[in-house]
Amino acid sequence: MLVLGIETSCDETSIAIASGERQILSNIVVSSLHLHKRYGGIVPEIACRHHTELINFVLDKALKRAKTSLNDIDAISVTQGPGLIGALLVGISLAKALSYSLKIPIIPLNHLHGHLYAATINEREVKFPSIGLIVSGGHTSLVDIKDIGNLKLLGQTRDDACGEAFDKVAKILGLGFPGGPIIEKQAKGGNCEKIEFPRSYLSKDTLDFSFSGIKTAVLYFVESLKRKGQRLPVADICASFQKAVFDMLLNKTRACCQNRGAKSLLIGGGVSANRSLRKRLEDLSSDLGIDILFPPKGMSLDNAAMIAGLGCYMYKREKFGDYSFTAQANLNL
Ligand code: KG4
Ligand code: ZN
């Protein structure tokens, strides 16, 4: 069995080939991030052009790296959404063209399912009940994992996503884009107890999050120091901000796992690359006595390996799509 997975939901043009749910033969990721940096965020038009220009090159490279050819591929899996509509359409158009011309099944997939699937790639089994935490640039969600590819939303952010808050705070501090890795690096040299930024826990009976308050608190703090002509303690701001955000994430994740009697916790999305978050989640899981599963190195950020691996899982269960599906920017879980 060989499944070719295509992921073009944001700035990464990525194609991977899997020979089984956990056997990734190739995973080529080419990002257009360097082209967006000067604008301080992702510019959809630039991302789409980049996908169009590079997708054939990425396809060739993925096939070569896997030492295979299109004639040996059994199915095509592709990200249907959520994501940038034009960007998604580039991947979906290629997927439909390949599926039609090679006469092989097409498997449309949800990007968020892919992010959580990435956490299972190195593991043999997921113990149920299982909870998923998705922390990316567009989403912050807690989900009940009924089965692989069958998720029920339990809580989500009411405003900014967790990664988005990192990106916005980095912008306020003039540190560049994307903010997550830069803030993590700065935070290492700072004191996380130095500034008491507000945590928003909403009410006790909700598993929702809110990150817009802390972003505004950082903005006001920075503006007031600037007005007084004082030097910005950048590392302390980053460390204190990061700790506050992770306090909020940990608080709801703990409550969710306890309420549901979880036996495992799966983490996915770009923010899961953060070492400090991983350490705190590891501590939480050992405290609760449950398994914790993270994406392997290089699979926290957007990539097609998670789409090819999940594609294999669906292929075995014959969960195929037809050509009537199209890109959905706001595709739900
Ligand atoms: O999952 P992802 O690659 O794309 C989306 O589906 O959104 O996540 C990108 C997000 C960005 O907001 C980025 O700042 C954040 O993940 N991120 C991080 C780190 N690396 C990436 N946030 C915190 N710490 C990191 N090390
Ligand atoms: Zn993503």
Q: What ligand has the least distance to the C-alpha of 275?
A: 1
**Global confidence as pTM:** 0.96
Q: Ligand 2 is a single-atom ion; what residues have CB below 5 A from it?
A: 136, 302
Mutate to test the pocket of ligand 1, among 10, 271, 300 (most ligand atoms within 8 A of CB): 271
Residue nearest to atom 19 of ligand 1 (CA): 180
Residue nearest to atom 3 of ligand 1 (CA): 301
* pLDDT one-digit tens code per residue, 188-219: 999 999 999 999 999 999 999 999 999 999 99
CATH class of 128-293: alpha beta
Ligand 1 pocket residue status of 137, Cβ below 6 Å: yes
Q: 230: CA distance to ligand 2 center in Å?
A: 38
Per-residue pLDDT at 297 = 87
Q: What is the mean pLDDT of residues 131-150?
A: 95
Q: Which amino acid is at 154?
A: L
Q: 160: CA distance to ligand 1 center in Å?
A: 13
Q: Which band of pLDDT confidence, cut at 50, 70 and 90, is reported for residue 38?
A: very high
- Sequence-distant (≥ 6) Cβ neighbours of residue 34 within 8 angstroms: none
- pLDDT above 80: residue 124: no
Give the integer Cα–Cα distance in Å for 233 and 231: 6
The answer to whether 323 touches 96, Cβ cutoff 8 Å, is yes
* pLDDT one-digit tens code per residue, 162-176: 999 999 999 999 999
- pLDDT above 80: residue 161: yes
Ligand 1 pocket residue status of 29, Cβ below 6 Å: no
* pLDDT one-digit tens code per residue, 275-304: 999 999 999 999 999 999 999 988 999 999
> What are the structural domain ranges in the chain?
3-116+299-316, 128-293
Under DSSP, is residue 160 helix (H, G, I), strand (E, B) or coil?
A: coil
Q: Which band of pLDDT confidence, cut at 50, 70 and 90, is reported for residue 53?
A: very high
Per-residue pLDDT at 123 = 80
- pLDDT above 90: residue 149: no
When the pLDDT of each residue in the chain is averaged and rounded to a whole number, the result is 97
Ligand 1 pocket residue status of 166, Cβ below 6 Å: yes
Ligand 1 pocket residue status of 184, Cβ below 6 Å: yes
Ligand 1 pocket residue status of 181, Cβ below 6 Å: yes
- pLDDT above 80: residue 328: yes
Give the integer Cα–Cα distance in Å for 303 and 27: 7
**Residue from 234, 207, 201 nearest 218 by CA:** 234
CATH topology of domain 3-116+299-316: Nucleotidyltransferase; domain 5 (3.30.420)
Ligand 1 pocket residue status of 138, Cβ below 6 Å: yes
Ligand 1 pocket residue status of 295, Cβ below 6 Å: no
In ligand 1, the atom with minimum distance to the C-alpha of 166 is: 14
- pLDDT above 90: residue 98: yes
For the record, the structure tokens of 123 come out as 């593991």
Q: 270: CA distance to ligand 1 center in Å?
A: 3
Q: What ligand has the least distance to the C-alpha of 7?
A: 2
